[in-house]
């Protein structure tokens, strides 16, 4: 049994906790299985980025009310919001993104993304893997046979140099509807559970508190005592004649797990309470603002990909079938504008943006026509994606939608192309063939091509 630890409090380990973390009786440590994600690494070419922060606006934000506004549309389609000028001449965004409007010179907007999946789960899967799910509708949960997530692949092929987690997901493993199964597209799939993300989940009584299900709390345990446990594990491994992996491999992974648990640098990455109140306020005192701040701390410590999934379930936030304008104005855009702008400024001030790819996207767009409930419905035929840093251009718009924002009119790109672009920025060839657990070769992004025009 694993107990949560609050990121904002001390992190320590008792001897009993070490047993709980790894289920020593089964010789199957959670953290070693996680760390195995980096054992068979290949850099995959020159990278413009060392890390990636993926801000996933789960549910599908309306492109027509954010970064691709069409003020001349008829009333039944036109946004209630005004477009405002940005720091890039000729480029406008929504009036409720005032901070981002001043930072658009750091960003590339791609306004011509599309795919063929209309329902949330299949669309999320396609957006996060670049592979079609071949499912049109229904409640679809994550499966072991799924194509691996971007973070799983990046952590596998570009393992961190430091003792940190390769791929983190926060603050939700988003469900496909309230009480539903986890959405596909976030996990390791057929690469194996060792490539699943390290979960940093919303928890505790505070609105911006986190739990780390893979760690447990304790008091007064030193690094030496953790390494004592590693020696015990090594002895058990050598005494056991029947196991799934060679003893030296298992010992190495367990040693790395203990190093991570005992590493001050690794523990500090999660200590969001060490940030000044001013910095925490700048990101916003809400779970998503603090998740963006924690994502910055993780990539600064060496994590390759931190994904912020902005919804506990598919219908909870950006899925604005009803009261689209009220939800965007009062609940969604203000915390996004505050937190994301703080992230861009923070990365820039720390000299991290050039080597950190930042991506903002959802899985779908919204319909040009406003429905009877004042909302916009699913629209997979055109939506927008934002890139910043990591070798991408600043102050640039790639592609365009037609006069209604319904279909791409210039430089159409697919969701697979977006995923291929992320891999390209991270120095991984999108044409790479991966091997599943049966040794079969499977193309990484079989239908995707990097959007080379977004790179400087």
> Measured between alpha carbons, how far is 224 from 336 in angstroms, rounded to an integer?
43
Helix or strand run (H / E) with residue 210: strand 210-211
Q: Angle CA(384)–CA(388)–CA(389) in degrees, nearest 5?
A: 155
**pLDDT score for 267:** 80
Closest among 422, 430, 456 to 44, alpha carbons compared: 430
SS3 content of the chain, % helix, strand, coil (to 5): 35, 15, 50
- What's the pLDDT at 12? 38
Residue ranges in the chain whose pLDDT is less than 70: 1-47, 136-139, 213-263, 265
Predicted pLDDT at 204: 73
At 139 the pLDDT is 62
Name every residue whose Cβ is closer than 8 Å to that of residue 283 and which is 6 or more positions away in sequence: 289, 290, 292, 293, 338, 339, 342, 343, 346
Q: Token pair 């506990």 is at which residue?
A: 312
Nearest alpha carbon to residue 384 among 394, 397, 372: 397
Query: Under a CB-based contact definition with an 8 Å cutoff, are residues 96 and 328 in contact?
Result: yes
For residue 179, the tally of other CB atoms under 10 A from its CB is 7
Would you tell me the crossing angle of helices 15-22 and 247-262 to the nearest 10 degrees?
130
Strands (E), 253-333: 305-309
Whether 153 and 444 have beta carbons less than 8 Å apart is answered as: yes
Nearest to 422 by CA among 47, 107, 111: 47
pLDDT of residue 215: 53
Calpha distance 382→384 (Å, rounded): 7
Angle at 102 between CA 362 and CA 424, to 5 degrees: 45
Residue 349: C-alpha distances to residues 193, 299, 345 (Å):
36, 15, 6
**Quick one: pLDDT at residue 136?**
67
Which element (helix H / strand E) includes 199? strand 198-199
Distance CA 114, CA 48 (A): 25
> DSSP per residue over 8-46, as a string?
TS-----HHHHHHHHTGGGT--HHHHHHGGGTT----S-
Q: What are phi and psi of 376, to 5 degrees?
A: -125, 140
Q: Would you state the pLDDT for residue 436?
A: 83
Tokens, residue 252: 């190495």
Q: Are 104 and 146 in contact (CB under 8 A)?
A: no
Strand 51-56 to 356-361 pairing: parallel
Structural domains of the chain, ranges and CATH numbers in brackets: 1-39+216-269 (no CATH), 47-212+276-454 (3.40.720.10)
Residue 203: what pLDDT? 85
Q: What is the DSSP string of 79-104?
A: -SSPEEE-SSTT-EEETT-HHHHHTG
From the list 160, 127, 147, the residue with the least C-alpha distance to 300 is 160
Of residues 289, 339, 295, the one with CA closest to residue 197: 295
Cα→Cα distances 76→70, 114, 368, 373, 408, Å:
12, 23, 9, 12, 21
Q: What is the rounded distance in angstroms from the CA atom of residue 209 to the CA atom of residue 207?
A: 6
What is d(CA 212, CA 344) in angstroms, rounded to the nearest whole number? 25
Which two structure tokens, joined as six digits, stand for 150?
Answer: 């971007």
Could you tell me how many helices (H) and strands (E) the chain has, helices first?
Answer: 13, 19
């Amino acid at each position: 049994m694993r107990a949560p630890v609050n990121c904002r409090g001390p992190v320590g380990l008792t001897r009993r906790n070490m047993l709980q973390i790894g289920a020593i009786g089964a010789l199957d440590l959670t953290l070693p299985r996680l760390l195995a994600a980096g054992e068979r690494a290949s850099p995959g070419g020159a990278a413009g980025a060392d890390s990636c922060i993926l801000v996933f606006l789960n549910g599908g934000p309306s492109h027509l009310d954010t970064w691709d506004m069409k003020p001349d549309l008829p009333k039944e389609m036109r946004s209630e919001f005004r477009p405002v000028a940005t720091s890039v001449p000729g480029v406008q965004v929504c009036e409720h993104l005032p901070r981002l409007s001043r930072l658009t010179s750091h960003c590339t907007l791609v306004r011509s993304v599309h795919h063929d999946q209309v329902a949330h789960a299949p669309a999320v899967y396609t957006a996060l893997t670049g592979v079609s799910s071949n499912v049109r509708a229904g409640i679809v949960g994550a499966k072991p046979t799924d194509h691996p997530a971007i973070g799983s692949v990046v952590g596998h092929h570009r393992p961190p140099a430091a003792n940190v987690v390769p791929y983190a997901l926060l603050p939700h493993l988003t469900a496909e509807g309230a009480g539903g199964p986890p959405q596909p597209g976030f996990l390791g799939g057929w690469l194996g559970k060792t490539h699943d993300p390290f979960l940093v989940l919303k928890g505790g009584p505070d609105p911006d508190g986190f739990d780390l299900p893979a760690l447990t709390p304790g008091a007064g345990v030193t690094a030496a005592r953790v390494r004592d446990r590693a020696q015990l594990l090594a002895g058990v491994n050598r005494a056991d004649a029947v196991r799934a992996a060679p003893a030296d491999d298992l010992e190495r992974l367990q040693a790395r797990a203990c190093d991570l648990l005992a590493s001050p640098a690794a523990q500090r990455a999660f200590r969001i309470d060490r940030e000044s109140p001013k910095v925490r306020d700048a990101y916003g005192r809400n779970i998503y603002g603090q998740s963006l701040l924690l994502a910055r701390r993780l990539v600064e410590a060496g994590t390759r990909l931190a994904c912020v999934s902005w919804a506990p379930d598919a219908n909870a936030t950006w899925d604005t079938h009803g009261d689209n304008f009220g939800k965007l104005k009062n609940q969604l855009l203000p915390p996004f504008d505050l937190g994301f702008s703080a992230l861009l400024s923070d990365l820039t001030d720390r000299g991290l943006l050039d080597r950190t790819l930042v991506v903002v996207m959802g899985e779908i767009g919204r319909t040009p026509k406003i429905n009877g409930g004042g909302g916009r419905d699913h629209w997979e035929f055109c939506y927008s994606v934002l890139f910043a840093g990591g070798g991408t251009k600043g102050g640039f718009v790639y592609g365009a939608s037609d006069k209604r924002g319904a279909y791409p009119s210039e430089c159409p790109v697919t969701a697979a192309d977006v995923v291929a672009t992320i891999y390209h920025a991270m120095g991984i060839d999108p044409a790479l063939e991966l091997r599943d657990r049966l040794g079969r070769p499977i193309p990484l992004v079989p239908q995707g091509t990097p959007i080379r025009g977004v790179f400087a």
